[in-house]
A and B are shown apart, each in its own frame.
Chain A
């Protein structure tokens, strides 16, 4: 990145890398859960077809070889189809706006991870930064009122501005991404934009916790005035 960075931020990013493994592990687990469900369903369908065939066989005193063959073929096709469809949900940008607020941070993170490979190396730091801050924001969003102005702001940033930025970058043909345009290259512009978003997520997280910070400080001050100052 063009801008020099303080050692503190480097540390955060290093921590973010470590955390990334855990985050991706969670995300993959989620995806595997979905796959297992799909495979289970495929096996169940296969078993149902077999049971039905055997039942009919017993009832009709045996089936012809051709029927058995056809049944097997049907079972195979059903198994294959069910284990491939429906496809594992890969969060898409237009789906982000419909996601529940509590899951917004997680979905955004998955979406961003899916996009990671399409983005330039210089942007990786910024993406990790966003990842860490999303992690921090996630529990706060769970308790936020869905219709409040704060929720609207968060939604706008995560489901609109961030995908907007990344998508408009990925639409640019790779050959042009490092050619200068409007003062700097698209890659640099992307990195700058991602940094702004990371900072903004941090600021939002701080805003959301302001009331709690104040409440704790107030309680502390109250205890002081009630039990210490008065002797």
Chain B
């Protein structure tokens, strides 16, 4: 049958995205490029800072204060990035929730549609008989009457599905915004990573230069400044890894949502399609005008909202009319229309299972990484409070990312 093959060839394929791999700190840097101009400006800052540091007596409090600046380097950037990437875990995964939202609506739609499925009704073409002997009414007529009572329910579910789709779109919009924020945060982190690496190099070189002239200062540089710089580099890279992973994970959620939106669209169109087919088949078989006003009203909105599938639906309707009118077995056409709904829902279900799996993997690995960075942030918090309590004097840090 033309219709059946058409829809089979356009079979709905929902592909769940792969889980986000664990990003190793060593590989985290370099995702967001730092341009050459910024690099040179940061390098200037680093050089000035090192010059300034070396000019101080290594036992003076001034020297200590500058070393403190190193330990605080990038604290703001890390805290900001951490706040952003933790949000991924707060994000409710609506699609995966079976008890509310789109998941629940799809399940309800399926139950309602199953009640209408002609293939579960036995042989509808036989006449109804009281006590199996006396002919009384038509099974088919009763069957089509059940559509009328179900239509308001179905249209309510479909409207809710559209609402759910809007929620998914809203989620994706929020993800877009969050990803933009994360991208910015990663840019800052990247600058800090560059800076701390440059600092490492410059200090190393300076210490080597000083080895002959002022071994005490060289030792101080290595033991305090350089030590903290390396610690900071590690912290920054750890946070960078978490942020990159959060960034990728958000993309995963977004892709899932996009697939689910496709599924919801298809479920709506196939349902409306089946109902239309029922109208046509009813007319062909019982000469009964099945009036499904609410569904007709829904047709227009559905077709408007879902443009691509709506077009397909329109094309098919003409064909259904022909087939239903001409075919010797119109009920089979109807059964196929129902089969389409089931196929759609089945593929959504498989998709959800697979997506849930990769989501779970992503969440587990991200949670592990976030745990690591949290420990650091707690430490940094303590340090900064100590510094605030220590003296009210504030020195503008030279070690800051560019805007």
Contacts and interface: CB of A to CB of B under 8 A. Distances in A.
Nearest to B165: A226
Contact of B174 (A168, A189, A214): A214
Contact of B173 (A164, A196, A219): A219
Contacts of A193: 392-394
Nearest to B166: A226
A230 interface: yes
Nearest to B176: A221
A161 B392 CA distance: 9
Interface string A189-203: 100110110000000
Interface string A152-193: 000000000100110010000000000000111000010011
Given A214-B174, A214-B181, A230-B307, A222 B169 contact: yes
A184 B173 contact: no
Interface string A133-163: 0000000000000000000000000000100
- The residue among B61, B169, B178, B181 with the most chain A CB atoms within 10 A of its own CB is B169
B391 interface: yes
B393 A189 contact: yes
A217 B178 CA distance: 10
Nearest to A214: B177
A192 B394 contact: yes
A218 interface: yes
Interface residues of B, number: 21
B396 interface: yes
A218 B393 contact: no
A226 B306 CA distance: 11
Contact of A222 (B173, B178, B393): B173
Given A161-B388, A230-B307, A196 B394 contact: yes
B176 A183 contact: no
Contact of A217 (B61, B62, B177, B392): B177
A221 B175 CA distance: 10
Given A225-B172, A226-B166, A184 B393 contact: yes
A3 B170 contact: no
A44 B98 CA distance: 70
A179 B392 CA distance: 17
Contacts of B396: 3
B169 A226 contact: yes
A195 B176 contact: no
Contacts of B393: 182-184, 189, 192-193
A182 B391 contact: yes
Interface string B211-244: 0000000000000000000000000000000000
A218 B254 CA distance: 14
A136 B392 CA distance: 24
A88 to B, nearest CB: 31
Contacts of A161: 388
A231 interface: yes
Contacts of B178: 214
Contacts of A182: 391, 393
Interface string B373-403: 0000000000000001001111110000000
Contacts of A196: 394
A224 B392 CA distance: 48
A219 to B, nearest CB: 7
A193 B391 CA distance: 9
B177 A221 contact: yes
Contacts of A168: 392
Contacts of A222: 166, 169-170, 172-173
A32 B367 CA distance: 58
Identify which of B180, B388, B394, B396 gathers the most chain A CB atoms within 10 Å of its CB: B394
Interface in B152-198: 166, 169-170, 172-174, 176-178, 180-181
B333 to A, nearest CB: 31
Interface in B299-326: 307
A5 to B, nearest CB: 12
A4 to B, nearest CB: 11
A164 B391 CA distance: 11
A207 to B, nearest CB: 9
Interface string B46-83: 00000000000000011000000000000000000000
Nearest to A219: B173
A196 B181 CA distance: 25
Contacts of B62: 183
B79 to A, nearest CB: 11
A192 B392 CA distance: 8
Nearest to A230: B307
11 contacts: A182-B391, A192-B395, A193-B394, A195-B394, A214-B174, A214-B177, A214-B181, A217-B177, A220-B173, A222-B170, A226-B169
Q: Which 4 A-B pairs have the closest CB atoms?
A: A221-B173, A222-B173, A196-B394, A193-B392
Given A192-B394, A214-B181, A231-B307, 6 more contacts: A217-B177, A217-B180, A219-B173, A222-B170, A222-B173, A225-B169
